């Protein structure tokens, strides 16, 4: 295992000449549809640092989109995955099973909210998990419809594109989409027209009214929602919204699915973001942070719902690959040993006050929000709530040039989001915030 020095270091412009050469090869060989946020090519990464082919070391506030919460080369992940790799790479769990898969399912049953009997099924990607949650909910309820929310993101397969709210870039030109998907309002406090204090009650009432009028609750198999909308802009639904929706689902025999693919595994300072409002979802989808960077995803939930699909109805060639399962067990071990929930909360305690101080100085910052290590800044034209995606892109670009990896998101493309690895050192965290402050001062 290589130890990456935990310090930012720029020895060339970003991207440097070797990255630019590789980018030219990428352009020739890789489909243009596969975009790149920051065109530096990585040689190694760990802790809070990404090192590139030119020898630059960048501070990582992205974690490969909320994946490497334990770092990109966590000791327990590397050790367990390497040991598994040396034993066997694959048998297909559906053909001849192995213990690691079962152990991951056992951990998921322990860690997810609620003490009812739970079961899991493992897959390769978040989108695949969401698709399977819908399959399971339909098998259980024998109903067709799926309800999703404004600003929601659930993946890039055909069904999950249908579930995703935003057209560009996720859906444009890729339809037609799967039927029986209905979208209802989300309690987006900052943009709720009658004010944030009314958002939870009014948005829930509107959503429920639309479900009753447009679909009929008795035709709804599942309500699928992110406890904090990730790609949509790190939108925490106004407090009280999620419990109202969950209660409506319960009253009507609808499977309540929390998509915790981005929010799960310590990211928000709890094992799962559902816990912040005491929610006990019927099904939870997980991926991203689950396995320290290896591809793994899961649907976990009430045993009687999970068992509704007939034997052979769920699965896939690689789902719950043994190396990915070993990595997940290493990641979970790391989260427990280092108490990464506490680390995530500490990251929030460091970042939020500093970003709020920036908000005082820079009127382009409309709102600072987030929980734990899932923090965002929404940028607007000063004095209005008019989204400013151009300034957002400019700030991100300035951060990249200074050696800080940041990502943008949001329905209006005007949100800077920060998802540092939970193991990042506090000095790097503060240095990253200095870079963000300089970037705001410069635009
Ligand atoms: C990333 C994401 C997905 C899709 O996961 P993939 O592994 O990219 O398929 C689904 N839901 C949410 C909330 C996500 O953040």
d(CA 109, CA 119): 7
Judged on CB neighbours under 10 Å (0-12, 13-18, 19+), 383 is exposed
- Regarding the beta carbon of 287 and ligand 1, being less than 6 Å apart is answered yes
The answer to whether the Cα torsion of 192, 344, 128, 37 is positive or negative is positive
CA dihedral 401, 406, 407, 408 (to 10 degrees): -80
Domains of the chain and CATH, by start: 17-74+339-442 (3.90.1150.10), 76-337 (3.40.640.10)
Q: How far apart are CA 161 and CA 1, in angstroms?
A: 38
Atom nearest to 297 CA in ligand 1:
7
Choose one of 66, 69, 123, 127 to mutate for the ligand 1 pocket test, by most ligand atoms within 8 angstroms of C-beta.
127
Give the residue, by CA position, lying nearest to ligand 1 atom 11. Answer: 154
Nearest atom, ligand 1, residue 125 CA: 7
Is 228 in contact with 260 (CB distance < 8 Å)? no
Atom 8, ligand 1: residue with shortest CA distance: 126
Helix/strand/coil for 430: helix
Q: Are 114 and 348 in contact (CB under 8 A)?
A: no
CB hemisphere CA count around 126 (13 angstroms): 27
Could you identify the atom of ligand 1 that is nearest to the CA of residue 226?
13
| Ligand 1 binding pocket mutation candidate from 69, 226, 261 (most atoms within 8 A of CB) | 261
How far is the CA of 123 from the CAs of 199, 278, 286, 296, 315, in angstroms? 35, 27, 10, 6, 7
C-alpha closest to that of 112 among 302, 304, 256: 302
Give the number of other CB atoms < 10 A from CB of residue 368.
19
- Burial bucket for residue 121 (CB in 10 Å: 0-12, 13-18, 19+): buried
Which phi and psi (to 5°) does residue 83 adopt? -60, -40
Helix 241-251 vs helix 196-210: crossing angle, to nearest 10: 20
> pTM of this prediction?
0.98
Would you write out the chain's pLDDT as a tens digit for each of its 443 residues? 568 999 999 999 999 999 999 999 999 999 999 999 999 999 999 999 999 999 999 999 999 999 999 999 999 999 999 999 999 999 999 999 999 999 999 999 999 999 999 999 999 999 999 999 999 999 999 999 999 999 999 999 999 999 999 999 999 999 999 999 999 999 999 999 999 999 999 999 999 999 999 999 999 999 999 999 999 999 999 999 999 999 999 999 999 999 999 999 999 999 999 999 999 999 999 999 999 999 999 999 999 999 999 999 999 999 999 999 999 999 999 999 999 999 999 999 999 999 999 999 999 999 999 999 999 999 999 999 999 999 999 999 999 999 999 999 999 999 999 999 999 999 999 999 999 999 999 99
- What's the Cα-to-Cα distance from 391 to each of 47, 109, 287, rounded to whole Å? 29, 44, 31
The answer, yes or no, to whether any atom of ligand 1 lies below 6 A from the CB of 124, is no
Task: Please confirm whether the linkage preceding 362 is cis (ω < 30° from 0).
Answer: no
Nearest atom in ligand 1 to 288's CA: 7
Check if 230 has its Cβ closer than 6 Å to any atom of ligand 1: yes
- Atom nearest to 156 CA in ligand 1: 9
For residue 154, report the distance from its CA to the centre of ligand 1, in Å.
5
User: Three-state SS across 32-56?
Assistant: CCCCCCCCCCEEEEECCEEEECCCC
Residue 152 CB less than 6 A away from ligand 1: no
Answer whether 127 contacts ligand 1 (Cβ < 6 A): yes
């Amino acid at each position: 295992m290589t130890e990456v020095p935990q310090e930012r270091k720029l020895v060339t412009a970003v991207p440097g000449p070797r990255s630019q050469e590789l980018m030219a090869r990428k352009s020739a060989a890789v489909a243009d549809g596969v975009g790149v946020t920051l065109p530096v090519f990585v040689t190694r990464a760990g802790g809070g640092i990404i090192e590139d082919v030119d020898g630059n070391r960048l501070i990582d506030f992205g974690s490969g989109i909320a994946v490497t919460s334990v770092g990109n080369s966590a000791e327990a992940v590397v050790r367990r995955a390497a040991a598994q790799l040396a034993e066997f790479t694959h048998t297909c769990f559906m053909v001849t099973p192995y213990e690691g898969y079962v152990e991951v399912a056992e951990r998921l049953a322990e860690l997810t909210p609620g003490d009812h009997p739970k079961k899991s099924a493992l897959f390769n990607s978040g989108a695949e998990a969401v698709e399977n949650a819908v399959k399971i909910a339909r098998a259980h309820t024998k109903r067709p419809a799926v309800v999703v929310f404004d600003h929601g993101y659930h993946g890039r397969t055909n069904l999950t594109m249908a579930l995703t709210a935003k057209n560009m870039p996720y859906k444009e030109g890729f339809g037609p989409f799967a039927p029986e998907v209905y979208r209802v309002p989300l309690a987006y406090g900052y943009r709720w027209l009658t004010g944030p204090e009314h958002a939870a009650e009014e948005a829930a009432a509107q959503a429920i009214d639309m479900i009753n009028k447009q679909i009929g609750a008795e035709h709804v198999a599942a309500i699928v929602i992110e406890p904090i909308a990730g790609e949509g802009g790190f939108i925490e639904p106004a407090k009280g919204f999620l419990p109202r929706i969950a209660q409506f689902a319960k009253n009507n025999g609808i499977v309540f699915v929390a998509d915790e693919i981005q929010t799960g595994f310590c990211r928000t300072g709890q094992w799962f973001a559902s816990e912040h409002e005491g929610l006990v979802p019927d099904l939870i989808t997980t991926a991203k942070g689950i396995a320290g960077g290896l591809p793994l995803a899961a649907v976990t939930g009430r045993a009687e719902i999970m068992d509704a699909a007939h034997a052979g109805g769920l699965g896939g060639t690689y789902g719950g690959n043994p190396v990915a399962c070993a990595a997940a067990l290493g990641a979970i071990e790391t989260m427990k040993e280092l108490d990464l929930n506490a680390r995530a909360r500490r990251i929030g305690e460091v970042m939020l006050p500093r970003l709020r101080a920036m908000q005082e100085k820079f009127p382009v910052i409309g709102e600072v929000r987030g929980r734990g290590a899932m923090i965002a800044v929404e940028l607007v034209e000063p004095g209005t709530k008019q989204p400013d995606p151009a300034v957002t892109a400019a700030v991100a670009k300035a951060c990249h040039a200074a050696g800080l990896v940041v990502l943008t998101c949001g329905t209006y493309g005007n949100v800077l989001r920060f998802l540092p690895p939970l193991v990042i050192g506090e000095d790097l965290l503060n240095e990253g915030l200095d870079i963000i402050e300089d970037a705001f001062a410069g635009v």
